[in-house]
């Protein structure tokens, strides 16, 4: 089954099908650019002050060019753009928030990276919640080119067939169990912050209770691993220097949370479910604890001590 056939079977309306197929068609172009060796700094910075790589700019340009001209796109917001941009559509269209190439610095050391996309019906992001998303997709550029997608009826993984030059279903009904002893601990520098001592205690629990460490520094492959392996937990807390952590709500955490909840997992911030958080500004950051229900509850039990 192709992606288009899947979307049709899922009852996705024609305009959204068209938008999602446009997004998926970009993934192999990014994969080819990576294999082609497009590397090095672009000499620019994004709105977060992070140096942009040529691949960051190239990937972002692909999305922006394809989507800001798309008849059913009302607005786009990219982690690599200073401001959101309008598309041709009005409220009858869709707004897309994306991180075109999350963890791009990992490409130069030949580790997997990814794209994250959250799709909202209507125009705009501020005032919305992650639970308003109509779709979420994460593409993983690793030994294989795959993506996980949800349109609100569970999660399905697709894999790119380079011969057919098309995506086909690889894993239907992706599910995350209630618990699994696998942890992906981000922001370990927080362990040296006296205000975040709970993180050291949690780390000690994991390390003395036979948990398996799986952390690559790329949120997309790390969370994709939890989805594919059926469980585990990814954490990225805040600390004194960055109380809200590093990861962005609309570009990274909300799409990931939608996918994880649709697969039977959970995603929390410090104050509650990620999907219940109201977007106050498009560059809003949030701590995130995402994965198996009982594993996230364990994190919360330490966080709340
Ligand atoms: P740290 C990559 O830059 C990223 O945005 C996520 O993909 C990843 O989980 C996180 O930052 C890694 O952050 O602090 O471990 O380098």
Same fold: 3-171 with 182-303: no
- Sorting pLDDT into bands at 50, 70 and 90, what band is 223? very high
Domain boundaries, the chain: 3-171, 182-303
Burial of 241 (0-12, 13-18, 19+ CB in 10 A): exposed
Residue 73's beta-bridge partner residues? 94
pTM metric for this prediction: 0.96
Among residues 176, 173, 172, 196, the alpha carbon closest in space to that of 186 is found at: 196
* Each residue's pLDDT tens digit, 249-291: 999 999 999 999 999 999 999 999 999 999 999 999 999 999 9
Tell me if 23 sits within 8 A of 96, measured CB to CB.
yes
CATH says 3-171 is which class?
alpha beta
Residues 6+ apart with CB under 8 A from 191: 199, 200, 203
State mean pLDDT over 195-218: 97
Which numbered atom of ligand 1 lies nearest the CA of 186? 15
Residue 117 has pLDDT above 90, yes or no: yes
Tokens linked to 220? 């997309």
pLDDT of residue 9: 96
Q: Closest residue (by CA) to atom 13 of ligand 1?
A: 217
According to CATH, what is the number of the domain 182-303?
3.40.190.80
Question: Using a 6 Å cutoff on CB, does residue 221 contact ligand 1?
Answer: no
Question: Using a 6 Å cutoff on CB, does residue 103 contact ligand 1?
Answer: yes
* Each residue's pLDDT tens digit, 20-39: 999 999 999 999 999 877 76
Q: Which uninterrupted H or E stretch holds 73?
A: strand 73-78
Which numbered atom of ligand 1 lies nearest the CA of 220? 7
pLDDT of residue 23: 98
State mean pLDDT over 134-159: 98
């Amino acid at each position: 089954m192709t992606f288009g056939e899947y979307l049709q079977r899922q009852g996705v309306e024609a305009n959204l099908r068209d938008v999602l197929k446009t997004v998926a068609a970009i993934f192999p172009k990014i994969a080819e650019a990576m294999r082609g060796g497009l590397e090095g700094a672009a000499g620019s910075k994004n709105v977060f002050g992070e140096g942009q790589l040529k691949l960051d700019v190239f990937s972002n340009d692909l999305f922006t060019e394809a989507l800001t001209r798309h008849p059913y796109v009302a607005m786009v917001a990219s982690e690599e753009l200073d401001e959101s941009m309008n598309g041709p559509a009005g409220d009858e269209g869709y707004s897309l928030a994306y991180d075109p190439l999350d963890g791009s610095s990992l490409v130069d050391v030949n580790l997997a990276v990814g794209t994250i996309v959250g799709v909202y019906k209507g125009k705009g992001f501020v005032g919305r919640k992650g639970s308003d998303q109509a779709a979420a997709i994460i593409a993983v550029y690793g030994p294989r080119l795959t993506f996980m997608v949800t349109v609100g009826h569970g999660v399905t993984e697709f894999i790119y067939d380079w011969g057919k030059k098309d995506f086909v279903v690889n894993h239907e009904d992706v599910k995350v169990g209630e618990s699994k002893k696998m942890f992906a601990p981000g922001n370990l520098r927080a362990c040296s912050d006296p205000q975040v001592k709970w993180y050291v205690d949690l780390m000690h629990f994991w390390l003395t209770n036979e948990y398996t460490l799986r952390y690559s520094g790329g949120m997309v492959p790390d969370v994709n691993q939890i989805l594919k392996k059926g469980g585990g937990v990814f954490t990225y807390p805040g600390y004194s220097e960055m109380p809200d952590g590093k990861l962005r709500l609309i570009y990274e955490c909300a799409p990931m949370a939608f996918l994880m909840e649709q697969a039977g997992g959970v995603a929390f911030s410090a104050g509650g479910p990620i999907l219940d958080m109201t977007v106050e500004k498009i560059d809003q950051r949030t701590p995130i604890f995402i994965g198996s229900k009982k594993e996230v509850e364990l994190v919360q039990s330490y966080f709340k001590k």
